[in-house]
Amino acid sequence: MEKLAIKGGDPVRSTKIFYGRQWIDEDDIKAVSDTLRSDYITCGPKVEELEKELARHTGAKYAIAVSSGTAALHCACIAAGIGPGDEVITTPLTFAASANCALYVGARPVFADIDTGTYNIDPASIRERITDRTKAVVAVDFTGQAVRHDEIRKICDEYGLVFIEDAAHSLATKYNGKQVGSLADMTTFSFHPVKTITGGEGGAITTNNEDSYKKLVLAHTHGITHDESLMEDAPHEGPWYYEQIALGYNYRITDIQAALIVSQMKKLDRFAARRKEIVKRYDEAFGTIPGIIVQKEIPQSDTCRHLYIIRLDPGKLTCTRREFFDAMSAENVRCQIHYVPVYWFPYYRHLGYEKGLCPNAEEVYKGIMSIPLYPKMTDRDVDDVIHAVKKVAGYYRKT
C-alpha cells in the first residue's frame, strides 16, 4: 500500500492539477484582438454571428446571447410569464442560479428530488410537487447528462407547464440524437471558463417559439425596441427613435466575448471528443474500485460531460469525504464539490426551507466529489488523477 502524501509519502504529482480549466489558443486571442481593433466592441456583428452559430449548432430557430448563464435563466423566466404567486420546480443539486431565477421574478422555487443513479431531477418527483400554482420546470442537465426529456415533456404538456432546460453543463450533449438546445421550450447555456467552451463569462437562450424569442430580446435589452411594429407611438420622429415597452435588464454580451465564443465553437467537436475519451478512461478505472460509485448514464443521452463526479461509499471506506478531499489535494489533485443543496443555504433557510426536503439529493451530496476533467488534460494528467483516486481509496478501504 502506498503511503499517502498527507501522511508523509510522496505525492502522485509535483504540480497541482485543478478540476477545470479553459483552453485558449492563439486563434482565440486573434479573434478577440481583431474585434478590439474593429469598429464594434459591443452591440455589433460578432454578437449576431454568435447567435446564428448557436442556432445552427443546436437546431433551434432562435438564439439570444446574454451576459451570463444566470442572466439567461432570468430572461427565460420573464419570457415564460412567471411572476408572484407562481411556483417553479427545479433540482436542489445545482448551482444556486437554477433556483434563484424564480425568486428574481417573484415566484417560489420548489425542489424536486433526484435520481440516485444519474443525479438528475427525477420526473416522478416533479409530478409529486405540482400544484395549481406551478408554472414551469427548470430541469438541469447535471454534469452534462441530459435530463429525461420525454418524461418531463409529457408532464409539462399534461399540466400546461413551461419546460426550461438549464443546459449550462451540456453544450454538445445529444438526447436521442438531437442536440440539447432544441428540445425544451427554452434552453439556457453558460460560457464560464470551466464550461465546455468559454467567453470568460456569457450565456445564451435558445427557443423554437417566436413569441418567447421576442420577449427574450426585450428582457435582455432594457425592454427597449427599435422595431416599429412593436411601438405604440407611431409615426415616430426619426431613425434615432426607440421605445421602452417592457421592464427589461442590461444583460447584453459584448462583441469581445462573442468573438471568443465564436472562435471556441470551432473547437467544440474536438473539445467534446477529448472529454469523452477522458470520461471513458475514468469509467473503466473506477467502475470496480471498492468505495467509489460511478455516475450512471441513461441510454438516450450522448453526453459531453462538463464534470466528472465520483461518489464515495461510506460503508466501504474508513475516511470522511473531507479526509478523502484533503488527501487528494496533498497528492496535488485538486477536486471540488458540486453542489451543496441549494435550500441548505442560509438565505433559503430564512425563506422557510428546511433540510430533509429531498432525501436522495442530500444523501448523494454527502459523498460526491468532482475530479479534474477538461480537454487540455494530457494522458499523463489523466493517469495521475486515476493513480491518486486509487491510492487514496486503497489506503482508506475497509478490510
Residue 237: pLDDT band by 50, 70, 90 thresholds?
confident
Q: Give the H/E segment covering residue 243.
A: strand 243-244
Please choose, from the candidates 10, 1, 22, the residue with its C-alpha nearest in 3D space to the C-alpha of residue 390.
Answer: 1
Q: Specify whether 321 is located in the same domain as 229.
A: no
Q: Specify whether 256 is located in the same domain as 274.
A: no
| Prediction pTM value | 0.97
CATH number at residue 248: 3.40.640.10
Distance of CA 38 to the CA centre of its chain: 32
CB 311 within 8 Å of CB 295: yes
pLDDT at residue 201, as a whole number: 97
Mean pLDDT of 191-219: 97
Please state, in angstroms and rounded to a whole number, the distance separating the CA atoms of residues 259 and 256. Answer: 5
Residue 239: pLDDT band by 50, 70, 90 thresholds?
confident
Mean pLDDT of 334-353: 98
108-111/368-371 β-pairing: unpaired
**Which residues form the domain of 334?**
5-18+268-395
Helix or strand or coil: residue 25? coil
Work out how many domains the chain is built from and give that number: 2
pLDDT at residue 227, as a whole number: 87
pLDDT tops 80 at residue 123:
yes
- Mind listing the pLDDT tens digit for each residue in 245-259? 999 999 999 999 999
Q: What percent of the chain has pLDDT over 90?
A: 96
pLDDT tops 90 at residue 344:
yes
Q: Specify whether 225 is located in the same domain as 150.
A: yes
pLDDT at residue 385, as a whole number: 98
Q: Specify whether 174 is located in the same domain as 47.
A: yes
- Mind listing the pLDDT tens digit for each residue in 272-302? 999 999 999 999 999 999 999 999 999 999 9
Q: Specify whether 256 is located in the same domain as 326.
A: no
Task: Give the start-end residues of each E strand in 59-209.
Answer: 62-66, 87-90, 108-111, 134-140, 162-166, 174-175, 178-179, 186-190, 203-207
First to last CA, the chain: 13
What string of H, E and C letters represents the secondary structure of 291-322?
CEEECCCCCCEECCCCCEEEEECCCCECCCHH
Q: Which of 265, 283, 315 is the last residue of a domain?
A: 265
Q: Specify whether 81 is located in the same domain as 114.
A: yes
CA distances from 238 to 223, 224, 232, 244 (A): 20, 16, 15, 16
Q: Which of 216, 239, 265 is the last residue of a domain?
A: 265
Residue 309: pLDDT band by 50, 70, 90 thresholds?
very high
Q: Specify whether 317 is located in the same domain as 256.
A: no
pLDDT at residue 89, as a whole number: 99
Please name the residue that has the C-alpha cell 405604440. 232
Q: Specify whether 169 is located in the same domain as 125.
A: yes
- Mind listing the pLDDT tens digit for each residue in 11-37? 999 999 999 999 999 999 999 999 999
pLDDT at residue 240, as a whole number: 87
Residue 233: pLDDT band by 50, 70, 90 thresholds?
confident
CB 170 within 8 Å of CB 122: no
pLDDT tops 80 at residue 236:
no
Q: What percent of the chain has pLDDT over 70?
A: 99
pLDDT tops 80 at residue 235:
no
CATH number at residue 333: 3.90.1150.10
Q: Specify whether 116 is located in the same domain as 258.
A: yes
pLDDT at residue 229, as a whole number: 84
- Per-chain mean pLDDT for the chain: 97
Q: Which of 250, 265, 280 is the last residue of a domain?
A: 265
pLDDT tops 90 at residue 101:
yes
Q: Specify whether 299 is located in the same domain as 368.
A: yes
Q: Specify whether 243 is located in the same domain as 294.
A: no
pLDDT tops 90 at residue 66:
yes
pLDDT at residue 370, as a whole number: 98
pLDDT at residue 399, as a whole number: 87
Helices assigned H by DSSP within the chain = 26-36, 45-58, 69-79, 97-104, 123-129, 149-159, 210-219, 255-265, 268-286, 321-330, 346-350, 359-365, 379-395
Residues β-bridged to residue 163: 137
Q: Specify whether 274 is located in the same domain as 372.
A: yes
